Structure 1
Amino acid sequence: MPTSSHNLFEEPWVPVRWLPTAPAPHPDRVGLRDLLLRSHDIETLAIADPPAHSALLRVLYALTARVTDLDEAGPGDWGERRLDVHDAGQFPPEGIEKYVARFRHRFFLYDPGGGRPWMQDARLAAQCDADKTAGVNKLIVTRPAGNTHAWFRHGSDASPDFPTVSEAVLNLLVWHYYGPSGRCSAREVDGVKTASATAGPLRTALSYHPEGKNLFETLLAGLVKPPLTVRRERDLCPWEWANLPDPDGSPPVPEGPCARLTACSQHALLLVADENDPGLVRDAYITWAYRSGRIPRDDDYLIWQVSQQGNRYPRPADSRRALWRDLDALLLKEPPGVAQPQRPKVFEYASEVSEDLRVRALGFDQEGQAKDIQFVDAATPAVLGLVERDLPTSAPAVGRMRQLGEQYGRRLERAVKRAWTLYVDDPKADGDTWAAEAAARYWPAAEAEFWARFRALDGAGQVVPATFGAAEARTVFLRLALGAYETVTASVTRTQRGAKAVSDARIELFGGPCKKAS
C-alpha cells in the first residue's frame, strides 16, 4: 500500500518562488496542503514548462473553489463572498483541512492495490501490455522518445533516466491537458483492443491567466462564478468520482466549472514506481481514456474565435506572436476583427479582486496530432484595471495601437517579399527568409514601443493624446517598419537591379500602389 511520503497533499513536489517577506522555512517545493495554507507567502509557481504551469493552475483553481466554498454561486452574492476571502488575506485553514481530510486517500501517487492513484487509471496495468508501455521518455514531454530528434537533451529508451515524482506528476498533467491525438499504446476493454486517442482539451491553445501580487491573489482572481444551477455534488473533479468512468462508452459531460477545469482529459495514464527508489518513476502507461466521443471543448481561460466556416475554436498558441497583440481581446467585451474574438470569461470579473493584476499567457505551440514545436510563456504589466467596463476610454485606444502595430507588420512582410520577387525576377520566388528576418527586427521593437506608450497612461487610466493618438502611432510604427525593411534589403542595394527592386517594393509600407480608377 502507498505510504504517506507519496501523498501529493504532503509530498513536496510543486516548485514555488517565495515572497521576500515570507517567514521561514522556504522549501523549493511544497505539497498541495502547504501550497494552499501558505499561498499568501508564495509569489508564484516556479514551473519551467508553460503547459505544466497552465495545467496545474486549473487543478489549483478547482481546489481553491472547494476550500473557499466558492464552487457554488450561493448563498448570498458570490462576488461579495470572494471579496470576503480576499480581505481575510489567506485561504481559510479550516476549509483546507476539511477538504484534505475528506479526499486525502485519493491523492496518493501510487496505489498498487488496484485503487485510485491521483489522476490515473489503475486498470491500465491489466488492460495494457506490460511489455509495450510508453516509458518515461514518452511521459516527459521535453525528452526525445523513440526515433524523434533530441532538442533539450539526449536520452535512450533502453536506459532512461528516471524522473522524480515532481517531474513525473507535472508531465502527467501536461498529457491530460495537451496530449496528442492519434496512435497510442493499445488498451483492451471488454475483449476489444484499440490504440487511438483524441487530443487533449488544451491541445494547440494559448490560455490567459490573471496574476496577482502573490499566489493567493492569483488563484482567487482565477475563479469564475458558477452558474446558479451548479451543485458541488454533481460538479466533480476526477479524484472525487465514486467510480472511474466506463472507457467503452462516451465521456461524461462536465456539469460545472470544477469538472471543466479538471475532468476533460481524453487520455488515461498510470505511473510505475521504481522498486529501488519510490521517489522516482520507472515507467508509464499512456493510452486513450474513452473509446468514442469527445468532451465538448470549452474553457474560461481561452480567447474563442469563429472560423470562416462558422466553427468556434480557441486562439492557437503561436511562439512568434507577442502577447501585446492579444491585449485588446483581453480588455474589450467585443474586440474588433473578422474572427469575432471573445475574451476569456475569467477576465469578466477578475479585476474585482485587484486592479493591479497582470496577465500571463501559457501554452504550447503544437500541431493537433503529434508535432510539438515550442513552449509559450509571456506576461504583461498590470493591465486588468483597464478593462472596458471600468475604463471605457482607454481600452479602445489600446486596441487601436494594436491594430496599427499589426497593420505595419503585415505591410513590412508584403514589402520584403515583393522586393525579393522583383530582385530575383521570379513571380514564384519564396521570400520567407527575408520576411522572417524582417519580423524578427520589427516585432520586438513594436512591442517595446507599445508598452512604453501603455505605461504613459496616468493613474486614472486617462488617455494622453500624444501617446495613443492615431497619427502619432502611425508615424512610430511606420518608422520601425522602414528601419527593418532597409536593414534586411541592404545587401542587394549595391547593384542597380537590387536597388530598383527595393525602391519599387518600398511603396508597400505605405499601403501599396494606388489603384487606377476604372
Structure 2
Amino acid sequence: MNLFDEPWIPVRWLPGRDGPACIGLRDLLGRCQDIEALDVPLAAAQSALLRVLYALTARVTGLDEDPKLDWIGRREDILKGCALPQKGIEDYVSRWRDRFFLFDDVTGRPWLQDVRLADECTESSGVNKLVMTRPSGNNHAWFIHARDSTPHSPSAGTAVLYLLMWHYYGAPGKCTARTLHGERISEAKRGPLHGSLSYHPEGHSLLVTLLAGLVRPAPEVQREEDLCSWEQDKPADPAGAPPVPVGPCGWWTNTSRHALLLQPDARGEHVTDARITWAYRLPGVFDDPYLIWERKLVKKKQREEAVRSARPAKANRALWRDLDGLLRHQPPEAQGEQTTVEPPKVFDTAVELTDQLRVRALGFDQNKAKNTQFVSGLTPATVGHLTDQLAEAQVAVGRLRRLGERYGENLTEAVRKAWVLYTRGDPKQAGKLVPQAEALYWPAAEREFWARFDRLDRTGESPDGGLDIRAARDAFLRLAREAYAHTTDPLTHTVRGNQAVLEARGLLWMTRPQRKNK
C-alpha cells in the first residue's frame, strides 16, 4: 500500500465537485481546491494528519524556505492560481514515493515505522493496542468491547490513522519492552500532543486551509537541514536525545516519542499485529505553532518560576471559552493575572492570507492513565478580522468571553452554596445539582456569545469594538438566573430549602468569581 496512490484519506467535496469518498496523498494535493475539508472521524487523527499535509504542502510549493523574504507574496500567488503547483507535486512524489509504502520489506523504510523493532521487541503489543479506541490487556472498555484473544484486524487505511495518533498522542509510561545494548526497557515518553488541544485555521476549501495553516520559516532555514522524518537517510539513534528540529517541517513531522512497526496480512489489506514501544530514552524539547501556551508563576524553593505548558483538551469545555487564547490583544483587566497566554503562532500569518477563516479545534482529552474523549469544534463565525489592525475588536472578544465565564462560575458557586446551606454537607458533594446547572447554562451562553460576536465591529470605527458591555452582562446574568432557578426549584419546597436558595442566590451577582481555595 503506497500512501501517495492508494485511497485512505476520507474527504468531503465542495458542492458540485465529484470524487471518491477516500483518496491518496497525490490526489489530495492535486485536487485540494475541489475539497471542502477532511472528513476524518477521529479528531486526534485529523490533527496529526494536518501536520503531515502542512509539511507536504510546504515542500511542493517551495514555501519551506524564505531566503528572499517574499514568503507572504509567494503564498498569495499560489492561492490566486487556485491550485498547488502540479510540477512540484509530481517532483516530490517521484523522489520520495519509496518512503511512503505502509509495508516495505524491500527498502526497510515503511512509512513512520522502525523495522528494527522486529528484532528489538521480542513481544508484540497487539492490534488492540494500536487502535486507541479499543481496550487492550486488562483495561476497561471505552468505545467497544474487544478481546486480545480474538482481535478484529483494521484495514490498512484505518491503521494509518492510528499510526499517526500514536506518533502525536501516544501515552507515556509502560509499553512493550525494547532491547537496546542488551538492556530491556519498557518506559515511553509522552507524545508531543498528548492531552492537548490544537487550533487550525480553516477556509472554504482545503487549499485555503493548507496554505493558511503553514508557518513562515526563518530566513536561515534550509530544506536540506529541515527534514521530515521520512526524508532522513537513516533512523535516529534511540539511545540519544530526540532531534531538535530547525524549521517547520521538522516540527510538523519529527517530534514523535514512540516507535511502531505494523504487521500486515498476506494480502496487505489489513493489519494483524503491531509493535508499539519507546523511541528515545532521553527527554527532548517541544514547541508547536497550533497550541495555546500558558505561562504560570509557580513557587519552587521559595522563589517563583514561570512554567510554560500547553492548554489541555477538556471534553466538557466549549471552543468559545478558549477563544481568548487566540487574541494578540487582551482586555486591560486581564493584566496582572498570574497566567499569561501565548496565542498559536500560526495565526500571525494565517489572517494575512484571507479574513474568511474559521478555527478548527482538534484534540484528545487524556492523561497518563486513560483516554477520555476526542475533542473537536469549529467556530460558527469567521475570526479572520481579529488582526493587529483591529485591536479594539480583539479586546471586545476577550471581554465578552470573560463575561460568559464569570456568570457561569458564579452560577456554579451559587448552586453549590445553596446545596451546602440546605444539607449542611460537604460542598464537594453537591450531587447532581452543579452538573445540571452547568448543562443548562453553558450551551445557552455559547449561543449568546456567538450571536454577539457576529455583531462586533469589523471596521475599527466603533468604540469598544462595537460591544455593548451592559447588554452583554445582563444577557449572561439572565441565563445564569434562569439556570439557577430551574436547578434549585426542588429545594424550595421546604422552608429551609427556600431560605438556602434565596441566600445563595446573591452569589450570581458577584463581580469576580469566588476563589476555589476559599
Aligned-partner SS, 2:141:
coil
Instruction: Check conservation: 2:381, 2:450, Cα contact below 8 A.
Output: no
Whole-Å separation in 2 of the counterparts to 1:85 and 1:147: 52
Question: Partner of 1:3 in structure 2?
Answer: none
Instruction: Check conservation: 1:71, 1:226, Cα contact below 8 A.
Output: yes
Instruction: Check conservation: 2:457, 2:466, Cα contact below 8 A.
Output: no
Whole-Å separation in 2 of the counterparts to 1:75 and 1:212: 27
Gap runs ≥5 in structure 2 = 299-305
Question: Partner of 1:193 in structure 2?
Answer: 184
CA offset digits 1:14-54 (Å, max 9, x no partner): 111111122x4x11111101000000001100001100000
Whole-Å separation in 1 of the counterparts to 2:465 and 2:73: 39
Equivalent residue for 2:94, pick from 85, 89, 101: 101
Aligned-partner SS, 1:70:
coil
Whole-Å separation in 1 of the counterparts to 2:379 and 2:140: 33
CA drift of 1:321 comes to 1.1
After TM superposition, the structure 1 stretch with the greater mean CA deviation from structure 2, 432-441 or 404-413, is 432-441
Question: Partner of 2:358 in structure 1?
Answer: 358
Aligned-partner SS, 2:259:
strand
The one-letter amino acid of 1:324's match is: W
The one-letter amino acid of 2:297's match is: Q
Question: Partner of 1:161 in structure 2?
Answer: 152
Alignment of 1:232 with 2:223, yes or no, is yes
The one-letter amino acid of 2:114's match is: D
Whole-Å separation in 2 of the counterparts to 1:448 and 1:152: 30
Question: Partner of 2:391 in structure 1?
Answer: 392
Aligned-partner SS, 1:283:
strand
Equivalent residue for 1:46, pick from 39, 45, 61: 39
Question: Partner of 2:372 in structure 1?
Answer: 373
Q: Structure 1 residues 429, 125: CA separation in 2 closer, same or farther (over 3 Å shift)?
A: closer
Q: Structure 1 residues 506, 122: CA separation in 2 closer, same or farther (over 3 Å shift)?
A: same
CA drift of 1:80 comes to 0.6
Whole-Å separation in 1 of the counterparts to 2:269 and 2:462: 55
Q: Structure 1 residues 260, 252: CA separation in 2 closer, same or farther (over 3 Å shift)?
A: same
Q: Structure 1 residues 509, 76: CA separation in 2 closer, same or farther (over 3 Å shift)?
A: closer
Alignment of 1:421 with 2:414, yes or no, is no
Question: Partner of 1:324 in structure 2?
Answer: 320
| TM-score of the pair, normalised by structure 1 | 0.94
Percent identity between the two aligned chains: 52
After TM superposition, the structure 1 stretch with the greater mean CA deviation from structure 2, 478-487 or 328-337, is 328-337
Aligned-partner SS, 2:388:
coil
The one-letter amino acid of 1:297's match is: F
| TM-score of the pair, normalised by structure 2 | 0.94
The one-letter amino acid of 2:342's match is: Q
After TM superposition, the structure 1 stretch with the greater mean CA deviation from structure 2, 233-242 or 382-391, is 382-391
Aligned-partner SS, 2:119:
helix
After TM superposition, the structure 1 stretch with the greater mean CA deviation from structure 2, 334-343 or 480-489, is 334-343
Whole-Å separation in 2 of the counterparts to 1:465 and 1:111: 60
Whole-Å separation in 2 of the counterparts to 1:436 and 1:107: 48
Equivalent residue for 2:311, pick from 293, 311, 315: 315
Equivalent residue for 1:8, pick from 3, 6, 10: 3
Q: Structure 1 residues 431, 302: CA separation in 2 closer, same or farther (over 3 Å shift)?
A: same
CA drift of 1:428 comes to 5.2
Equivalent residue for 1:281, pick from 271, 276, 280: 271
Whole-Å separation in 2 of the counterparts to 1:362 and 1:139: 20
Instruction: Check conservation: 1:334, 1:341, Cα contact below 8 A.
Output: no
CA drift of 1:251 comes to 1.2
RMSD: 1.8
Instruction: Check conservation: 1:394, 1:463, Cα contact below 8 A.
Output: no
Q: What aligned pairs does 1:86-165 form with structure 2 within 5 A after superposition?
A: 86-113=79-106, 115-129=108-122, 132-165=123-156
Aligned-partner SS, 1:80:
helix
Aligned-partner SS, 1:12:
coil
Whole-Å separation in 1 of the counterparts to 2:233 and 2:482: 63
Whole-Å separation in 2 of the counterparts to 1:249 and 1:106: 24
Gap runs ≥5 in structure 1 = 1-5
Instruction: Check conservation: 1:404, 1:474, Cα contact below 8 A.
Output: yes
Equivalent residue for 2:206, pick from 203, 206, 215: 215
The one-letter amino acid of 2:234's match is: N
Question: Partner of 1:411 in structure 2?
Answer: 410
After TM superposition, the structure 1 stretch with the greater mean CA deviation from structure 2, 299-308 or 390-399, is 390-399
Whole-Å separation in 2 of the counterparts to 1:476 and 1:462: 24
The one-letter amino acid of 2:272's match is: R
Question: Partner of 1:243 in structure 2?
Answer: 234
Whole-Å separation in 1 of the counterparts to 2:211 and 2:406: 37
Instruction: Check conservation: 2:197, 2:313, Cα contact below 8 A.
Output: yes
Whole-Å separation in 1 of the counterparts to 2:428 and 2:323: 35
CA drift of 1:358 comes to 0.4
Q: Structure 1 residues 190, 115: CA separation in 2 closer, same or farther (over 3 Å shift)?
A: same
Question: Partner of 2:301 in structure 1?
Answer: none
Instruction: Check conservation: 2:492, 2:498, Cα contact below 8 A.
Output: yes
Alignment of 1:271 with 2:266, yes or no, is no
Q: Structure 1 residues 87, 428: CA separation in 2 closer, same or farther (over 3 Å shift)?
A: closer
Instruction: Check conservation: 1:397, 1:463, Cα contact below 8 A.
Output: no
